[in-house]
Structure 1
Amino acid sequence: MNNQHDQSYKLLFSEPRTVRDLLTGFVREAWVKQLDLDSLEKVSSTFVTDDLRDREDDVIWRVRFGDEWLYVYLLIEFQSTVDAFMALRIMTYVGLLYQDLVKQKKLTQSGKLPPVLPIVLYNGGKRWNAARNVSELVQPVPGGLEQYRPDLPYLLLDEGAIVASEQWPKETRNVVSAIFRLEYHRSHQDAIELIGLLVQWLQAPEQTRLRRHFALWIKRVLLPSWVPDDEEAEWQALNDLNEVHNMLAERAKQWPEHWKQEGRQEGEEKARLETARNLIRDTSLTDEAIASATGLDVEQVTELRTELRH
């Protein structure tokens, strides 16, 4: 994922409505009902140390849990591959957060550390199969030494698995569910209808900023692959989610031919690349000769040759 995607996605989870829907829709545990969701506060970046502040894609919130605070550490993972040692990273980040809480004297009334809910939000294509507790990463040993292994699980939200499952919210007014479904939309029309639902759900004045964040995210994530190049500047000028939806509903009627042409061009490009690979494997032709025969750039052929050597 590019940095623009990362930042616009982070903005979505920097709004209380999104975090509220994340907790109520995807943390299926009884204690969630005891949270005072009206007390949600985003932890300021000035609150944490440089070590945590460098975690630019992570978002930290706190919410009242009875008379105490519960901290929600949301790690947004924009990687195409699964991190086998994610549980270790989580243990490190939670430890850093606790160090900050101690320094700031943000302890419970009894002088203990407040509870922290670590959540990993993953949107890669491959299903997540890494350890979900750091204890699983430590080699078990006999003789009682295993009791000293660290034990810290995290809550995994694998977007692709969630969208494919029947157990998670779909038609409910849950903006996080809508985000996941937009990322894995089955058709352009499905996505446009989802955006229309978001417009309905976020009409209240206090949701103005979240509507803008959605408009920004849609422009950066969905539209680049939808919109013809000669219309891109017009779309980037839009900042209102309702305007984005209305224009999408209208323009999408004109775009199928553009999408077909894009698909044809993509298919032709794949065919040229495959032909070049075959020529590299089966002949002694130079990169220049293969480029001339396939219509590719010489640099593309050189990169393919390098890839095939590994």
Structure 2
Amino acid sequence: MPDHDHSYRLLFSHPVMVADLIRGFVHEDWVAQVDFTTLERVNQSFVTDNLLDREDDIIWRVRWRGSWLYVYLLLEFQSTNDRFMAVRMLTYVGLLYQELVRGDQVTDEDTLPPVLPLVLYNGDRPWRAPTSMAELIETVPGGLEHYRPTLNYLLLDEGALDEHDLPSVRNLAAALFRLERSRGPGDLRAVITALADWLAAPEQTGLRRAFTVWIKRVLLPRRVPGAEIPEVTDLEEVNTMLSEREIDWSRDWREQGLAEGRKEGEAALLVRQMERRFGALDEATRQRIAEADAETLLLWGENILTAECVEEVFHQ
């Protein structure tokens, strides 16, 4: 599992992170009736290895109005959208229900517990895939539409969140997203200072360590590629390191941002040029262009001058 995926999974293995994610980003009335003190991970005693083997899935349960409510959290870090995510979620929720029945968690007299299917997306491109099964199934006249599955999932697209979407009060999930969106060492230090204060209690040592590991192994290498990052074991040490390197890293951070901006501009220009010559491009072609490096975009920009079709643009 890549470091980014593993680190996120580790962060959301802590109940307070899941509680803050739901409190801060699920704006529905039922949340007020949840007893977050009862949050617990669904483990081997509830479902088989077949359901828990997927490394990007985390399943929690919590008391809601005296009964269990399940949260199926799927972490999605691919750079491209999964158009059929709703199909995946329908399958996973169905498997969860199946395992609850098999494990005698639900009797013949019981109704099935509610499930919140939640996709946390961290990809570079905006999420455009349907969030409902109904959108993926062709409508058939004559009554057949009554049998169409209608599962919906809640999407949290980190890249699409604006500052006003993030809770201003203490919220650990929002702090994580702010770290992702930081524009320089100064932004990082402000969030880390707050985290160090929020996670000062001894019982929060594990989560404090998880944030430290994620910042060192994932966030900083992505922000300042090639920089030597010293060993740090605590958020306070991370803040000290950022303070000592703020001037140099701010410059590197800014230059990387400019480079990424130029690449995005080149990709957008190529899309416009191709659509003027060949008509609207499908999503797969747009994604291919968005994922290309600067040198490849330059080559494709030259190819468009002589290409007779879309595929000739991509000729190497």
Output the TM-score relative to the length of structure 1.
0.80
| Aligned equivalent of 2:240 | 246
Return 5+ residue gaps in structure 1 as ranges: 283-305
- CA RMSD after TM alignment: 3.2
Query: Is the CA contact 1:64–1:70 (under 8 Å) kept in the aligned structure 2?
Result: yes
| Aligned equivalent of 2:211 | 214
Structure 1 residues 265 and 155: CA distance shift in structure 2, 3 A: closer
Query: Is the CA contact 2:86–2:130 (under 8 Å) kept in the aligned structure 1?
Result: yes
Aligned-pair distance for 1:141?
A: 0.8
Query: Is the CA contact 2:71–2:118 (under 8 Å) kept in the aligned structure 1?
Result: yes
Distance 1:67 1:146 in 2: 35
Deviations 1:21-78 (A, max 9, x none): 0111111111111111000001114632233222111110000112211010000111
Larger mean Cα displacement after TM superposition, 100-109 or 138-147: 100-109
| Aligned equivalent of 1:294 | none
Q: How many residues align?
A: 281
| Aligned equivalent of 1:30 | 29
Matched, 1:160 2:159: yes
Structure 1 residues 196 and 152: CA distance shift in structure 2, 3 A: same
Amino acid at match of 1:176: A
1:47-62 superposed matches below 5 A? 47-62=46-61
| Aligned equivalent of 1:176 | 173
Distance 2:94 2:296 in 1: 49
Query: Is the CA contact 2:300–2:314 (under 8 Å) kept in the aligned structure 1?
Result: no
Distance 2:40 2:69 in 1: 10
Q: Secondary structure at the match of 1:253?
A: helix
1:1-310 superposed matches below 5 A? 3-45=2-44, 47-107=46-106, 110-162=109-161, 164=162, 166=164, 168-226=165-223, 229=226, 231-232=228-229, 234=230, 237-256=231-250, 273=295, 277=299, 308-309=314-315
Aligned-pair distance for 1:165?
A: 5.7
Query: Is the CA contact 2:185–2:249 (under 8 Å) kept in the aligned structure 1?
Result: no
Amino acid at match of 2:56: D
Output the TM-score relative to the length of structure 2.
0.78
Moved over 6 A (4+): 260-267, 269-272
Larger mean Cα displacement after TM superposition, 126-135 or 70-79: 126-135
Q: Secondary structure at the match of 1:309?
A: coil
